[in-house]
Structure 1
Amino acid sequence: MATFRKLTIQFETSAQLPPPYSYRYVLRILPTEQTINVDLKLTYTHRDELDADEIEAEGFTDNDDYQWKGTLEKVWSDELEKVLKKTQMGGSMLQDEELDFLTLEWETDTTKKGQPKNTEDWLYFAQELLQAIYETSEKERPFEMQVIDATSQGTREAQLTASFRTRTAQVKRVVDGKTSLRFYPWQELPSLMETVYAPNWLTDNASSQKPKRNGLYFNLGDGVWYEWGKQVVEPGKGAKTLSKLKDVVTTLFG
């Protein structure tokens, strides 16, 4: 039984994120007996400050606003209830220009409106929820990462697939010609993705051809292969992201 009649999430990126990347959205959620219905309206902001050429140069179009109504998998109803049970409203509606801004309007027997005290939980949960909507509506595909580790002793491959639509992840491995499949713990996915995106990925020097030489290679689902240490590099002096990325590879083959 749902603990709410209606939930509205309003979100806006911080003032530090410039156009054409900045956006805001309103997400309305209605519970049903088994799952949740969602209504998303997402709008990119401050684009009137840019020319069309500037927007396209960043990989966007002249209209990237997005709307979708539909139903998400039951697992999202369950996860939403878990977050709501540990949520207390702070009441503040003040916006810090350096932070993303999220407010809730939570309707039960009464209506609570404001910022949740567990804001960080909601910021991450809302981002996952948005990704689940994109996958359910087929706007985006599940997250995929392929790894090839080729040495003089042989080649091994791993492919991680993570579906936000179903909140499940799995790893397919091919080692010495033998294929195996196992589930990847969903709760470990945030740390993995943070590690994966911490280095710089140099797309201009990457290859569309599957690698044949020895080395450690990555494909993030875009059909392009990046070699560790060459097209995957440290983001700055003193950074130690590449060693952590290698640790990720160890967990996938472990």
Structure 2
Amino acid sequence: MKKSKEHSQGIIIEFDSGVIPPPFSHYYRLALDWRERTLAADFEIHYTNREDLTEEEILDEGFTTEDDFSFKGELDYVWKKVLSQEFEKIKWSGRPPEEGGLSISALIDGKAGTAKSPENQEAWQMLAQDVIQAIFETAKKEAPLTVNYRLVDNDKIQDCAITMKFSSRQAIFQSKDESKEINWEYAVQLLKMVFTPDYNYELAKENPSNKRGSYIECGDGYWHELGKGVVNIDTSFDAVDKIKSGFENLLS
């Protein structure tokens, strides 16, 4: 297996959501080829078993009737380094791919090797989702995500934002005084915290408050006050405080 890793010229990632019900159930195939000093991507995703659902049932779950998508094109070469490094240190589960889950095969001379299941399924699923988001941005299917934050303390208002550009794997921090690229992993972990608590949209506002407090807007136009409209789901884990400290560290 070591030899195929050393000579791999790309990878193919396949994912099957398994037994989860529609409209969530889906399958995707993501082929990434870096033989020619470019990163060529061939991607398709298909949502399965929707035949017995009405359009209303699909829309009620936040989907559309046209969620299937395919893409062939080039991605920013920055992703090649990330993917190849992760593939070089991969550990295999030793189990054959089964229904449900993710499998990976190496591309060697344009041909796919044997598909195997990585030991760390969750990490590879998350990495694949990052690449898929890069594809969506490259194809102009989705815009980069921007999360806005406001801190009001002692009548001083500080506004800032983080924009995640998956297409180029850049995290851009913007405030009144500066715009700079920040550490990608720091931004990813901070945004994971952002989407961890519970958001009460009945308390949300279309404009941020000028009253003392911390406020966040997650890209949908609605502002929430941390600690009131945004509350921890798990009382043993203070995600709200981590959001505050994460943004305020960037503001300091």
**Does the pair score TM above 0.5?**
yes
| Structure 1 residue 118, shift from structure 2 partner | 4.2
Mapped partners of 1:208, 1:241: distance in 2: 23
Identity of aligned residues (%): 29
Decide which moves more: 242-251 or 230-239.
230-239
Report if the CA contact (8 A) 1:89-1:113 is conserved. no
The counterpart of 2:186, out of the listed 163, 183, 188, is: 188
Where 1:70 maps in the other structure, the secondary structure is strand
Structure 1: gaps (5+ residues): none
Distance (whole Å) between structure 2 residues aligned to residue 238 and residue 87 of structure 1: 33
SS in 1 for 2:115: strand
Cα distance between partner residues in 2 of 1:49 and 1:91: 37
Deviations 1:186-232 (A, max 9, x none): 12233212211110122343122243333211111222111112221
TM-score, length-scaled by structure 2 = 0.86
Corresponding position of 1:218: 216
| Number of residue pairs the alignment of both structures matches | 245
* Map 1:84-233 → 2, pairs under 5 A: 84-95=87-98, 101-108=101-108, 111-174=113-176, 179-233=177-231
Question: For residues 4-19 of structure 1, what are the structure 2 equivalents within 5 Å?
Answer: 4-15=8-19, 17-19=20-22
> How far is the alpha carbon of 1:31 from its aligned partner?
2.1
Cα distance in 1 for residues equivalent to 2:152 and 2:30: 45
Distance 1:141 1:229 in 2: 29
CA contact (8 A) 1:90 1:116 kept: yes
- Residues 89 and 112 of structure 1 are in contact (CA less than 8 Å); yes or no, is this contact kept in structure 2? no
Q: How far, CA to CA, are the matches of 1:249 and 1:188 in structure 2?
A: 11
Q: What SS does the aligned partner of 1:112 have?
A: coil
Instruction: Quote the Cα distance in structure 1 between the aligned partners of 2:97 and 2:14.
Output: 13
**How much does 1:92 deviate?**
2.2
CA change 1:6–1:153 in 2 (3 A) is: closer
Structure 1 position 81 matched with structure 2 position 79: no
Contact preservation (8 Å) 2:217, 2:224: yes
Report the TM-score when normalising by structure 1.
0.86
CA distance in 2, matches of 1:205, 1:18: 32
Task: Output the aligned Cα RMSD.
Answer: 2.4
2-structure distance, mates of 1:30, 1:235: 41
CA contact (8 A) 1:91 1:113 kept: no
The one-letter code of the counterpart of 2:90 is T
* Structure 2 alignment gaps of length 5 or more: 1-5
Q: Summarize deviations over 1:7-27 as a string: whole Å, max 9, x none.
A: 321012253x44323322011
Structure 1 match to 2:70: 67
Structure 1, residues 32-76: CA drift from partner, whole Å, max 9, x if none? Answer: 422211111101123235322121112221221111111001101
